[in-house]
Amino acid sequence: MRRVLASVAFVACAIVFAQSPARDQTPAPTITLTRLDCGTWAAPTDVGQRFSDTYAYNGLMVQLVFTCYLIRHGDDYLLWDTGNPVGTAATSPKTSLVDLLAQLKLTPAQIKYVAISHYHGDHIGQVSSFPQSTLLIGKGDWDVITAPNGNGVTNPAAFANWISGGGKVEPLPGDRDVFGDGTVVMLNMPGHTPGHHSLLVKLKEMGNVLITGDLAHFHENYDTNGVPTFNTDRAASLASLDRFKKMAANLHATVLIQHDARDIGKLPAFPAAAK
């Protein structure tokens, strides 16, 4: 009897052991994060003029920059923000996103998702270069973009491809775990605009990274919960900052403020990627 029980136990164990390696056979997807320059630096800005509704930072000069990011998830790619438009303006990028991606041997058709933090012109400028990508954008922002008269601060024409039904769009009412495994998550952080989102990227070597969008534009307004005069909702801005900071602490995350030149060096210089 003991021998029978022993062999039953052996068979049971054999089944368990036979199954567990199978579960581990799918390798975790390679996830990388690359900084893409998305506009030409203007001179350092007196951030007291527009970036505080409480008269903070008067005379503080900060070097603001324009940053987009490429996230690789296995064989899929997500582009986070599309920066200033290509053109002749002083802040136009010297190299387009399409040309930067070409240096990485990527074509626009390979970008599965074009994810937009919010509808301001310096974040949507090159979105029309990615007509085959699924557009991910906060519902609050999409509602403004598609409103009959807009709001005068965004450019609906940039999204004509998706408004007309030529491209797939997913307006997000909340967070979105983009690939379903928790590694790339769009975070609902309203206040700067109605549907503003930030982004969480979980990297194997660098660890967790939180990308602000325009939740904050520079270190000082992140550190002191500064609210720019042009945000759409002050209370929502503060609530989003509170959530983001708690998340950063709990996840021991590296915070990247997209517009702050001081954060460029937190990632390897293009074309290298953080892993």
Site residues (vs Zn ion, CB under 5 A): 120, 214
The label of the residue with tokens 């320059």 reads: 37
Q: How many CB atoms lie within 10 A of CB 258?
A: 29
Q: Which is nearer to Zn ion, 90 or 272 (by Cβ)?
A: 90
Q: Which is nearer to Zn ion, 30 or 229 (by Cβ)?
A: 229
* Minimum CB distance to Zn ion, residue 192 (Å): 6
The label of the residue with tokens 């399409």 reads: 98
* Minimum CB distance to Zn ion, residue 253 (Å): 21
Q: Which is nearer to Zn ion, 156 or 271 (by Cβ)?
A: 156
Q: Which is nearer to Zn ion, 176 or 217 (by Cβ)?
A: 217
* Minimum CB distance to Zn ion, residue 193 (Å): 7
DSSP 274: B
Q: What's CA 222's distance to the chain center, in Å?
A: 17
For Cα atoms 10, 14, 20, give the angle at the middle one, nearest 5 degrees: 145
* Minimum CB distance to Zn ion, residue 210 (Å): 17
Q: Look up residue 70 and give its two tokens.
A: 């490429």
Indicate if the alpha-carbon torsion angle 35, 137, 121, 260 is positive or negative.
negative
Q: Which is nearer to Zn ion, 35 or 120 (by Cβ)?
A: 120
3-state helix, strand, coil in the chain (%, to 5): 30, 25, 45
* Minimum CB distance to Zn ion, residue 158 (Å): 14
